[in-house]
Amino acid sequence: MEHIRSIEELARWKSEGREKKLGFVPTMGALHEGHLSLVRLSQSKCDRTLVSIYVNPTQFNKAEDLEKYPNTLEEDLRALDAQGCDAVFLPDAAMLYPDGLEARSFDFEGLDRYMEGEGRPGHFEGMATVVTRFFDLIKPDCAIFGEKDYQQLSIIKQVVAKERWPVEIVPAAISREPDGLAMSSRNMRLTAYEREDAAQIFSRLQSAISKLNSQESTPETFETACIKALNAVPTINVEYVRCCDALTLQPLDQFDASRSSRVFAAVQCGKVRLIDNLPLF
Ligand code: AMP
């Protein structure tokens, strides 16, 4: 696997396989099976796969979260190599932000209004700034994003359509641990008790969905029931549970089984913030 550390190395690597279809997987490292599933999806669709590892400062609204972000570079490189990834791009801030660490401004047309957009101001601008910079440098044919960060995926699709980036955005299903917990780089920060409790995020949401009767429940009563069930888990504190339209990401007024919709949740599990989302209809 090629290690690319400069724009010149990237240009050389790109020119060697100009005619090959290029898949791109942006990550912040601390890789797990969920990231590797994105690599495999890229490999199934493209001739070459490039993974970037870069912890993007402009998408962190708390300096503490940025400082605490896990770094497991040696293991990450081994895992990507073992997966048959063609190249890893390891840029620094000067390459991605030649004019200084500033996020661009975007109009996400309301996609950023709720959920992660409410509690993490500036997060999506920072994310979209770095992703579009990557698109500009790498010019991939496909870019793979996980449904684990469903709002991020929706926003990237909107930016690509609006700014006419010639890249296909490919969604990847959420990879879960055997007990249902969505894989995340943050899971490694959970204590043994918290790790056990964290599995309840999936199982309690899943159980609420299985009992959902769209005629009798409203999104509000459903969200209240989910919040109660999750807050009953000792180490869990709910930040939000929201039922939204899967395309517009606007909160639902009522359930409509003919409209694709999802439930989104963010909780504190001990000191670790975890997110998940599941389809409703
Ligand atoms: P991150 O390194 O957390 O920025 O994630 C990089 C990419 O991996 C994003 O597109 C995430 O949505 C995706 N990802 C992270 N965890 C999972 C998971 N459990 N299942 C599927 N995709 C994931």
Is there a contact between 24 and 30 (Cβ–Cβ < 8 Å)? no
- Asked about 35 being catalytic, the answer comes back as yes
The torsion angle over the Cα atoms of residues 269, 240, 179 and 145, rounded to 10 degrees, is -110
- Domain 185-279 class in CATH: alpha beta
For residue 145, how far is its CA from the centre of ligand 1 (angstroms)?
7
| pLDDT at site 18 | 87
Tell me the per-residue pLDDT of 58-88, one tens digit each, with 9 for 90 and over.
999 888 889 989 999 999 999 999 999 999 9
Domain residue spans in the chain?
2-172, 185-279
**Ligand 1: nearest atom to the Cα of 152:** 12
Residue 215 pLDDT:
80
What is the residue with the minimal CA distance to atom 14 of ligand 1? 146
Averaged pLDDT, 222-246? 98
What average pLDDT does this structure show over 202-217? Answer: 92
Please compute the mean of the pLDDT values over residues 48-55 and round it to a whole number. 98
CB burial readout 117-138, b (16+ within 10 A) else e: beebeebbbbbbbbbbbbbebb
Residues having CB within 6 Å of any atom of ligand 1: 27-28, 34-35, 37-38, 145-146, 148-149, 172, 174-175, 182-185
The pLDDT tens digits for 8-21 are 999 999 999 989 99
**Three-class SS state of 230:** helix
The percent of residues above 90 in pLDDT, for the chain, comes to 94
Quick one: pLDDT at residue 174?
A: 98
Q: What is the pLDDT of residue 77?
A: 98
The SS3 call for residue 125 is helix
In the chain, pLDDT over 70 holds for what percent of residues?
100
State yes or no: pLDDT of 213 exceeds 90: no
From 32, 35, 130, the mutation candidate for ligand 1 (largest count of ligand atoms within 8 A of CB) is 35
Instruction: Produce one character per residue of 186-220: b if its CB has 16 or more CB atoms within 10 Å, e if not.
Output: bbebbeeebbebbbbbbebbeebeeebebeebebe
45 pLDDT exceeds 80? yes
- Which token pair is 244? 């939204």
User: In the prediction, which pLDDT does 65 show?
Assistant: 86
**pTM, entire model:** 0.98
Distance CA 187, CA 22 (A): 31
Average pLDDT, the chain: 97
Query: If pLDDT is split at 50, 70 and 90, which confidence band does 199 have?
Result: very high
In the sheet that holds 87-89, the strands lie side by side as 2-4, 87-89, 48-53, 22-27, 142-146, 168-172
Q: What is the pLDDT of residue 31?
A: 98
| CA atoms of 25 and 34, how far apart (whole Å) | 12
pLDDT for the residue numbered 190: 97
Q: Give distance in angstroms: CA of 146 to centre of ligand 1.
A: 5
CATH 3.40.120.10 fits 2-172, yes or no: no
| Residue 242 contacts residue 251 (beta carbons within 8 Å) | yes
**Per-residue pLDDT for 214 more than 80?**
no
3-state secondary structure (DSSP) of residue 23:
strand
Q: What is the mean pLDDT of residues 181-195?
A: 96
Is the per-residue pLDDT at 178 higher than 80? yes
**What average pLDDT does the segment 18-44 reach?**
97
119 within 8 A of 266, measured Cβ to Cβ:
yes
Question: How close is the Cα of 234 to the center of ligand 1, in Å?
Answer: 27
Note the pLDDT of residue 26. Answer: 98
